[in-house]
Amino acid sequence: MASVSIRKLDIEFGSIKVIRELDLEIAEGEFIVLLGPSGCGKSTLLNAVAGLLDVAGGQIWIGGKNVTWEEPKDRGIGMVFQSYALYPRMTVRGNLTFGLKMARTPKADIEARVAKAAKILQIEPLLERRPSELSGGQRQRVAIGRALVRDVDVFLFDEPLSNLDAKLRTELRVEIKRLHHELGSTMIYVTHDQIEALTLADRIAVMNGGIIQQLASPKEIYRRPINRFVAGFVGSPA
Ligand code: ADP
Ligand code: MG
C-alpha cells in the first residue's frame, strides 16, 4: 500500500481545462471513491494518477515519491477499466501471467501469485478458459486478477461494474470490499453510482466540473452535503 498525493493538478485538452488546481490527499490503505456525473473529469483524474496522460501543471506523488513524469509501469499501480480489455486469444492464466512474464518474474513466483489471486477472486476453475467462455462478472474478476498478481500498491478502478447487470454488480461490489479488507491496499474507485460510492468508500470525493466539491465520509456527505450540487447528486436516485 501507498499514500497518494495530488497537488494543484491541472489537466487540459487543447484550450479546455478539465481538471482545475485539484488537491487530494489519500492515506495508505484508504478506499477513496471519485463520484460525479458523466463528463466531470473522473476518468481524466484517474488516468493522470495512472500516468496515461500528461498534466499541464501540478504534481502527483505515490508512496512518498514524485511520479508526475514517471512511466505508468513504474508507478506501482494497477488499473481495472469498465471494459475488461482481456487478451481474447489467451486463457485466463495467460491473461494473468502475461505482464509478469514480460517483467521476467521467476516462474515459481508467477505460479504462486496466480494461485493466490485465483483463490481470492474465486476463479480457480476458470484458469484454462478463454475470455469468450466467461460471463461478464467472471471477466471482470480476471481483470482485477491482473492487477492483483502484480502486487500493486494502489488499485485504480474506472467504473468497473458499469457493464454488469444489477445482481452481479452487487455481488462484485461486495467482493471488491472484501478484497480491500484482505489486501489493505490503497484504492481509488471512479463511479457515477451513488450506492456504490456510499457502500464502498472510506471517503467520497464528489466531483463536478473538474473540481472536488466535497471530500468526506459517506455518512457526512449523505447527512451534510456542502452545497446544492452535492445534495442533489447524492440525494437523487441513481
Ligand atoms: P468522466 O470520467 O467523469 O465521465 P472524463 O474525465 O472522461 O469524465 O472527461 C472529462 C471532460 O474531458 C469531458 O468534457 C470530456 O469530453 C473531456 N475529455 C476527456 N478526454 C478527452 C480527450 N482525450 N480529448 C479531449 N477532451 C477529452
Ligand atoms: Mg469516465
Residue 137 has pLDDT above 90, yes or no: no
Q: Which atom of ligand 1 is nearest to the CA of 44?
A: 6
How much is the pLDDT for 238?
44
Percent of the chain scoring above 90 in pLDDT: 82
User: Worst-scoring range by mean pLDDT, 140-149, 187-196, 216-225?
Assistant: 140-149
How far, in Å, from the CA of 40 to the mean position of ligand 1? 7
Q: Which atom of ligand 1 is nearest to the CA of 14?
A: 25
Higher pLDDT, 235 or 54: 54
The dihedral through the CA atoms of 164, 86, 62, 175 has a sign that is positive
How far, in Å, from the CA of 19 to the mean position of ligand 1? 10
Give the model confidence (pLDDT) of 71-102 as tens digits: 998 999 999 988 778 999 999 999 999 989 98
How much is the pLDDT for 236?
56
Please provide the average confidence, as pLDDT, over all residues in the chain.
Answer: 93
Give the model confidence (pLDDT) of 165-178 as tens digits: 888 889 889 989 99
- DSSP per position, the chain: ---EEEEEEEEEETTEEEEEEEEEEE-TT-EEEEE--TTSSHHHHHHHHHTSS--SEEEEEETTEE-TTS-GGGTTEEEE-SS----TTS-HHHHHHHHHHHTT--HHHHHHHHHHHHHHTT-GGGTTS-GGGS-HHHHHHHHHHHHHHTT-SEEEEESTTTTS-HHHHHHHHHHHHHHHHHH--EEEEEES-HHHHHHH-SEEEEEETTEEEEEE-HHHHHHS-SSHHHHHHHHS--
How much is the pLDDT for 199?
95
Residue nearest to atom 27 of ligand 1 (CA): 13
Q: What ipTM does the predicted assembly reach?
A: 0.98
Residue 28 has pLDDT above 60, yes or no: yes
**For range 137-147, the mean pLDDT:** 90
How far, in Å, from the CA of 160 to the mean position of ligand 2? 10
- For helices 136-149 and 166-183, give the axis angle rounded to 10 degrees: 20
Give the model confidence (pLDDT) of 47-79 as tens digits: 999 999 999 999 999 999 999 999 998 999 999
How much is the pLDDT for 20?
96
Residue nearest to atom 21 of ligand 1 (CA): 13
Cβ distance 38 to 23 under 8 Å?
Answer: no
**For range 197-223, the mean pLDDT:** 97
The one-letter amino acid at 39? G
Residue (of 224, 219, 167, 175) closest to 198 by Cα position: 219
How much is the pLDDT for 136?
87
**For range 13-37, the mean pLDDT:** 97
Q: Which atom of ligand 1 is nearest to the CA of 42?
A: 3
Residue (of 38, 54, 64) closest to 190 by Cα position: 38
Question: Using a 6 Å CB cutoff, which residues line ligand 1?
Answer: 13, 18, 36, 38-44
**Residue 168 CA, distance from chain mean position:** 18
